[in-house]
Amino acid sequence: MKRLSLLLFVVMSAAMISAQLYLNPQAPIEDRVEDALARMTRQEKVAILHAQSKFSSPGVARLGIRGLWMTDGPHGIRPEVMWDEWNQAGWTNDSCTAFPALTGLAATWNTDLAFLYGKMLGEEALYRGKDVVLGPGVNIYRTPLNGRNFEYMGEDPYLASQMVVPYVQGLQGNGVAACVKHYALNNQEVNRHGYNVNVSDRALYEIYLPAYKAAVQQGGAWSIMGSYNLYKGEHACHNKYLLRDILRDEWGFDGAVVSDWGGAHNTDEAVANGLDLEFGTWTNGTTSNNKEYDNYFLADPFLAGLQEGKYTDEQLNEKARNVLRLIFRTSMNSQKGFGSMVSAEHRLAARRIAAESIVLLKNEGALLPLSTSAKVLVVGENAIKMMTVGGGSSQLKVKYEVSPLQGIEDKIANANKILPDNKGGVKYERGYTSGPNIIQDAIDFGEKLDETRSEQQLLSDAVTAAKEADVVVFIGGLNKKPHQDCEDSDRESYGLPYGQDQLIEALAAANKNIVVVNVSGNAVAMPWLRKVPAVVQAWYNGSESGNALADVLFGDVNPSGRLPFTFMQRLEDYPAHQYGAEGYPGVDNQVYYKDDIFVGYRYADKEKKVTPLFPFGHGLSYTTFEYGKPQLSAKNMPANGSVTLRVDVTNTGLRVGREVVQLYIADKKSSLPRPVKELKAFQKIQLQPGETKTVEFVITNSMLQFFDPDKHAWVAEPGEFDAIVGASAGDIRGKQTFRL
């Protein structure tokens, strides 16, 4: 009897476990997905395909299947918003660490830091109970007017690919999904819901898609966000070419496609063309007992079509599978931890990444680094303005943000404390004003930036103070207000706003020891460049921006950031602006990418009349590096083999420093036009004074290929190639020729 009941117990438990395979964390995900799917009704399957609030989608309560919580993204965890509104909910425990915006991350050219970034961000997401981070963004920098460039990783598909993969891996290691956005061709904000991109297959595959492909195939991204714009006349959120043909069929994506908020437009296309999860379809959600969500394209209209036989259960199951897979990877991932917010580790990571992102553009007469015993005058609104505020959906509510002025004051105060004879000092003058603060989504830190002085008075007060100072540090740039690096609007001109050019000229005339710090996510015109000895590019660097900037200005950190995009002299020098309104921002909802594959340095290399202010990959150091002659392991490369290029790099200065050694490849003769050279590898190395390291690059066939639109394939044509070693796209240190 006893034995029988034991047997019964064993059989019953086994039956229960197998009965609830989808709940068994040990079971393979695909088995869990199939098991869950088999238990769900049609209604339940449809329900998990669309939002139930601004940022959440439901699970299946009856079966204990959890829903999903999304959050922006991409450089910090967005504050909690109301169930049905964009405005914040007013929680008191949702203040985050702001990490540097992604142009800053890209400017580190440090893949280890990209991993660290993703890992830290994921921990904050976990703590806040979020399953999917809406980011990173990898839209290519086509025009410096794009209001969202600061959320992306620059102009080069290879650099963006290298940086996005570790970000995704670091993040997803927490059991939090990346949602790589905005797929694809969302390279401007003007008319973002309405423009249709006309682009060659070559430019699509060579320039605009590689970073997404890398995120999917190498990073293993669990979700991807469709963009607002159209391509081939179909909205990107339900676009057969982008989602079915390329993402699923060519790249083998097994994650979920999420719409951008309000990016879905009709049920037929959404059902047929690969959208899995619909969010933000315009509704206030509250006027009819939340029934608005039932009206989403992938809600009742889909269900009705299924009942009528217009859509198939196969179509439904495919989507439900993709969403269930995302659920089991994230919200029902039993391996994940609890996360943490604003930990010491997060602060340190934010500071390190920010400091390593800062690019020293110019440093004549070694004005930098500054001495902490100097009398420093800081001028400019960006020295005091919170830069985590504004910019659109990536705006954050931070636990703290160290402003540049604060960072500089702390640095000098600390030195004065430690060294009693140190007599450094800091004064501040506003110099210009951008007008009253704009409050977005009810995030108001009570920051008082009101100014009563006239423009003229501000300028003359700053100039008077400049005459008294040992050194002037001007901190200006753009500021995340609409048209100044902000979602849903592009910049209206390439120049600095608010009279900053005149102010810089006047300050430079008053004091020749002037450092200009440009805070922005975009290149800007610098008509005063020759009159200013030192220029620094800082980004929207988050919570630690002021400390990081001070670390670089005073030499505690030797700058090693490199530009992730080309700084042209004039707007007209950007290829997107060569073709009138058709090229940008479009005519009758059509934008033509006539610049084709010649984006950024690819254009500057080709057009001899265009000389960038600062080339792609440029960045100085407080030390100097010398390159030896590159050596190749062989002069001939077999079709499926490789050659190795070695180059010695020596630190010839007096400080430890980091150099980014860049490898470009040039195809000497090709059946289709090719860029003069293209970045195919890079290594960031640290060298002690006097130290030499040998950098090794293995060159393989795939690094020689271009996309042949007729064959719809990547091909490398036999012939001669140059392997070019540079410190930037404009600073070539050596080359070697080999033959494929």
Q: Report phi then psi at 562, rounded to 5.
A: -135, 145
Q: Is 159 within 8 Å of 166 (Cβ atoms)?
A: no
Nearer of residues 330 and 393 to ligand BGC, judged by Cβ: 393
Nearer of residues 180 and 320 to ligand BGC, judged by Cβ: 180
Beta-bridge partner residues of 590 = 196, 587
Nearer of residues 395 and 566 to ligand BGC, judged by Cβ: 395
Q: Is 106 within 8 Å of 159 (Cβ atoms)?
A: yes
Nearer of residues 116 and 180 to ligand BGC, judged by Cβ: 180
Q: What is the CA radius of gyration of the chain?
A: 27
Q: Give the C-alpha separation, 301 to 307, whole Å.
A: 10
Residue from 99, 167, 208, 261 touching ligand BGC (CB under 6 A): that is 261
Smallest distance from the beta carbon of 99 to ligand BGC, in angstroms? 16
Smallest distance from the beta carbon of 5 to ligand BGC, in angstroms? 56
Site string for ligand BGC, 385-404 (x = CB under 6 A): --------x-----------
Smallest distance from the beta carbon of 132 to ligand BGC, in angstroms? 10
Q: Is 46 within 8 Å of 323 (Cβ atoms)?
A: no
Residue 260 interacting with ligand BGC (CB under 6 A)? yes
- The string over 8-44, giving b where at least 16 C-beta atoms fall within 10 Å of a residue's C-beta and e elsewhere, is eeeeeeeeeeeebbbbeeebebeebbebbbeebeeeb
Name which of residues 641 to 680 contact ligand BGC (CB under 6 A). none
Active site residue 588: no
Q: Give the C-alpha distances (Å, rounded to integers) separating 550 from 58, 69, 468, 547, 654.
A: 46, 37, 21, 5, 20
Nearer of residues 35 and 72 to ligand BGC, judged by Cβ: 72
Smallest distance from the beta carbon of 264 to ligand BGC, in angstroms? 12
Residue 440 interacting with ligand BGC (CB under 6 A)? no
Nearer of residues 279 and 498 to ligand BGC, judged by Cβ: 279
Residues 6+ apart with CB under 8 A from 297: 50, 264, 265, 266, 267, 270, 278, 281
DSSP string, 662-722: EEEEEESS-SS---S-EEEEEEEEEE-TT-EEEEEEEEEGGGG-EEETTTTEEE--SSEEE
Smallest distance from the beta carbon of 279 to ligand BGC, in angstroms? 7
Q: Give the C-alpha separation, 250 to 607, whole Å.
A: 34
Nearer of residues 72 and 678 to ligand BGC, judged by Cβ: 72
Nearer of residues 131 and 260 to ligand BGC, judged by Cβ: 260
Applying CB under 6 A, what is the total number of residues that bind ligand BGC? Answer: 7
Site string for ligand BGC, 162-191 (x = CB under 6 A): -------------------x----------
Smallest distance from the beta carbon of 265 to ligand BGC, in angstroms? 15
Name which of residues 619 to 638 contact ligand BGC (CB under 6 A). none
Q: Given 72, 131, 156, 260, which residue is catalytic? A: 260
Residue from 58, 59, 73, 521 touching ligand BGC (CB under 6 A): that is 73
Q: How many helices (H) and strands (E) does the chain have?
A: 18, 26
Q: Give the C-alpha separation, 588 to 195, whole Å.
A: 8
Q: Give the C-alpha separation, 70 to 668, whole Å.
A: 48
Using the Cα atoms of residue 502, residue 507, residue 513 and residue 515 in order, give the sign of their dihedral: negative
Smallest distance from the beta carbon of 218 to ligand BGC, in angstroms? 23
Q: Report which secondary-structure segment, H or E, holds 724.
A: strand 720-728
Smallest distance from the beta carbon of 220 to ligand BGC, in angstroms? 21
Strand 375-379 and strand 425-429: the pairing is parallel
Smallest distance from the beta carbon of 504 to ligand BGC, in angstroms? 33
Closest-CA residue to 254 (of 332, 176, 319): 319
Nearer of residues 409 and 487 to ligand BGC, judged by Cβ: 487
Helices (H), 379-454: 404-418
Beta-bridge partner residues of 620 = 360
Name which of residues 102 to 161 contact ligand BGC (CB under 6 A). 134
Q: Report phi then psi at 96, rounded to 5.
A: -115, 180
Q: Report phi then psi at 667, rounded to 5.
A: -90, 115
Smallest distance from the beta carbon of 261 to ligand BGC, in angstroms? 4
Site string for ligand BGC, 346-385 (x = CB under 6 A): ----------------------------------------
Nearer of residues 36 and 326 to ligand BGC, judged by Cβ: 326
Which stretches of 561-656 are assigned E, i.e. beta strand?
590-592, 625-627, 631-632, 642-651
Q: Give the C-alpha separation, 11 to 7, whole Å.
A: 6
Nearer of residues 178 and 535 to ligand BGC, judged by Cβ: 178
Q: Give the C-alpha separation, 231 to 589, whole Å.
A: 11
Smallest distance from the beta carbon of 48 to ligand BGC, in angstroms? 19
Q: Give the C-alpha separation, 328 to 334, whole Å.
A: 9
Helices (H), 148-266: 157-172, 201-203, 210-217
Q: Is 684 within 8 Å of 584 (Cβ atoms)?
A: no
Residue 72 interacting with ligand BGC (CB under 6 A)? yes
Smallest distance from the beta carbon of 489 to ligand BGC, in angstroms? 12
Nearer of residues 54 and 655 to ligand BGC, judged by Cβ: 54
- The string over 709-740, giving b where at least 16 C-beta atoms fall within 10 Å of a residue's C-beta and e elsewhere, is eeeeeeebbeeebbbbbbbbbbebbebbebeb
The torsion of the CA quartet 136, 125, 339, 407, rounded to 10 degrees, works out to 70
Closest-CA residue to 36 (of 247, 277, 331, 244): 331
Smallest distance from the beta carbon of 541 to ligand BGC, in angstroms? 20
Residues 6+ apart with CB under 8 A from 210: 157, 158, 160, 161
Nearer of residues 137 and 431 to ligand BGC, judged by Cβ: 137
3-class secondary structure, 342: coil
Active site residues: 260
What does the binding site for ligand BGC look like in residue numbers (CB under 6 A)?
72-73, 134, 181, 260-261, 393
